[in-house]
Amino acid sequence: RGSGSGPAVAAAAEARAATRRLVARVEAGAFGEIRHILHIGIGGSALGPALLVDAVDGGRGRYDTHVISNIDGVALERAMRACDPARTLVVVVSKTFTTVETMTNAERARDWIGGTARFVAVTAAPERAADWGVAPENVLGFAESVGGRYSLWSAVGVTAALSLGWAAFEALLAGGHAMDAHFESAPVTENAPVLAAMVDVLYAVFLGAETRAVFAYDERLRLLPSFLQQLEMESNGKRVDRDGKVLTHPSAAITWGGTGTDAQHAVFQLLHQGTHLVPCEFVMVKTPGHGLGAAHHRQLLANAVAQGAALMRGRSEAEALAMSGGDAALAAAKTFPGNRPSIAIVLDTLDPHTLGALIAFYEHRTFTAAMLLGINPFDQWGVELGKDMARAALDRGAGEGFDASSRALLARLL
């Protein structure tokens, strides 16, 4: 994301230069008149680019951008209905170029467009992309060591670079680099990712919090909770330590969340009065992302601050009794225990630079928590077993090797 030396840094710089050249070619008309981008990936290769595009331009960028990840054909079909195949650029992102969900969707998109002339591949296996039909000059590479959930800074971010413009993508990288520098140099007592990770481990390991909720009080960050679910749970949802020994303490908490005041009317009942301890995080942006006036935005921010204060303060039984006309049963229902934890994260503005810093903050926080927990945040073997069994179900048909319940389901469905 910034300066440095060595082979890895040089390779990253060359990959960035190649990405910039491809963006320039698209802008110059090398693929014809492009109005739509269909980005096909899964996991980090989809969640990251989707977050970037939605947060910075809300779908109002230079291209009508659709990010497809689900193998359910409904998602792809809806996107194709919204696009003109003659004016659509398809970006296929797969490290191995064998990912079943991604390649299944890519094959359908190839049939729809009628060839691969307007396809871009982003992969660590360029020879497979070429064999599949993508022209070598339209293939962007990234290192095999780069995990999907950490990959949006690489050529995987080409869709964001196209939609937002290269200057905006460079600003995103600069924001990430600024957080890198803070993480590297700030003392522990002032180091935001380290302090946040220590709080996460405190609640998950020592205070028994099994979940952590993140609420984006800005519509532009509506995809942030989903992005963080993968970043944190795929990184730190492990059962063994770095030496392969079974953990004797909890690993990552379950990360979930929602958007702004919508969540208040859906899940906050449990957060305030339920029996589970759920540390909450409120992400706010001081400057509104709309032109509907400051008063409109103040209502949103006031709600965010009030939720954190209410979680902490609660409402005593005496206060509830006084406002319930002496009805003890009603007062009990209106009593809030309080002393429930929350963190507020405030951005002055939301732009590519601050978004880059925010994402890098969460990456370093996740890494630090992994170090404190003694686990490896860069593998994801828990993803593999289900995929292997899905392939077996398709290959064997009758469900050989599956339990009776699963065989019955396979017989009914396949």
Catalytic residue status for 265: yes
**Of the residues 232, 234, 281, 363, which is catalytic?**
234
Rounded Cα distance between 18 and 141, Å, is 9
SS3 215: strand
The whole-angstrom separation of Cα 252 and Cα 402 is: 30
Catalytic entry in 137, 210, 387, 400: 387
The answer to whether residue 387 is catalytic is yes
Tokens of 303: 């709600």
Beta bridge partners of 258: 215
Rounded to an integer, what distance in angstroms lies between the CA atom of residue 75 and that of residue 263?
Answer: 25
User: How many whole angstroms separate alpha carbon 363 and alpha carbon 99?
Assistant: 24
The tokens for 203 are 């609640």
Q: Which two tokens stand for residue 393?
A: 């179900």
- Nearest CA among 1, 48, 298 for reference residue 171: 1
Residue 126 structure tokens: 């360029």
Helix 44-57 to helix 352-373 angle (10° resolution) is 140
Task: Specify the residue for token string 């995809």.
Answer: 223
Residue of 171, 139, 158 whose CA lies nearest to 65? 158
Return the H-helix or E-strand segment holding 67.
Answer: strand 64-68
Compute the distance between CA of residue 155 and CA of residue 93 in angstroms, rounded to an integer.
9
Residue 272 is a catalytic residue: no
DSSP string, 217-267: ESGGGTTHHHHHIIIIIIHH--SB-TTSPBPSS--PPEEEEEEHHHHHTTT
Range list of H helices, 165-289? 166-185, 192-201, 224-228, 235-236, 260-264, 268-273
Catalytic residue numbers read: 234, 265, 387
